[in-house]
Amino acid sequence: MSNAYDFDFKALDGSPLPLTTFKDKVVLVVNVASKCGLTPQYEGLEALYKDMKDKGLVVLGVPSNQFAGQEPGTSEEIQTFCSTTYGIDFPMTEKVDVKGENAHPFYKWAKDQLGEPAEPVWNFHKLLIGKDGQALQAFGPRTDPDDADMKKAIDSAL
């Protein structure tokens, strides 16, 4: 696999969500959870998406239940929570594993590209993918969506 566009997810509604959908855009891939102390980051992620989507940024939420069981819901429950609680409009995938031997192939690829920093250690870990589909940078769970360094990295990728 040479770049992020080689991978496919399924959207929360079960429809195919190939990453080629976002070709020529900058994608911030975030593993998310509804019952985490960091869940309020959804608000900042949605604001970042609204603010920068016209410039070519996509935020992609990837629900995962791997960290303290903080995403136990079904796709429908996750969708309802995200839309009613935070007004989430950015694309979301079905729930997947993001680390370990059963990790989604995208996450295995990202770790191959960026090393250990790319493997999520908790919910709301962020991976920045360039317009060419290359993995650019990883940001830890506590990196706020309005973090200056992350915004700088996004701006330079755009």
Write out pLDDT tens, residues 33-82: 999 999 999 999 999 999 999 999 999 999 999 999 999 999 999 999 99
**Mean pLDDT score across all residues of the chain:** 96
Does 21 score more than 90 pLDDT? yes
User: 28 forms bridges with which residues in the sheet?
Assistant: 59, 128
pLDDT, tens only, 91-105: 999 999 999 999 999
CA neighbours closer than 13 Å in the CB half-sphere of residue 144? 7
pLDDT for position 68: 96
Q: Choosing from 4, 12, 27, 36, which is the catalytic residue?
A: 36
CA neighbours closer than 13 Å in the CB half-sphere of residue 93? 27
- 18 — pLDDT class (breaks 50, 70, 90): very high
pLDDT for position 14: 95
pLDDT for position 2: 86
Q: How many angstroms separate the CA atoms of 155 and 151, rounded?
A: 6
Q: How many angstroms separate the CA atoms of 86 and 40, rounded?
A: 8
- 88 — pLDDT class (breaks 50, 70, 90): very high
Q: How many angstroms separate the CA atoms of 49 and 28, rounded?
A: 9
Domains in the chain, please, with CATH? 4-138 (3.40.30.10)
Contacts of residue 41, Cβ cutoff 8 Å, sequence gap at least 6: 30, 124, 144, 145
Active site residue 82: no
Q: What percent of the chain has pLDDT over 70?
A: 99
DSSP 3-state percent helix, strand, coil across the chain (nearest 5): 35, 20, 45
Does 1 score more than 70 pLDDT? no
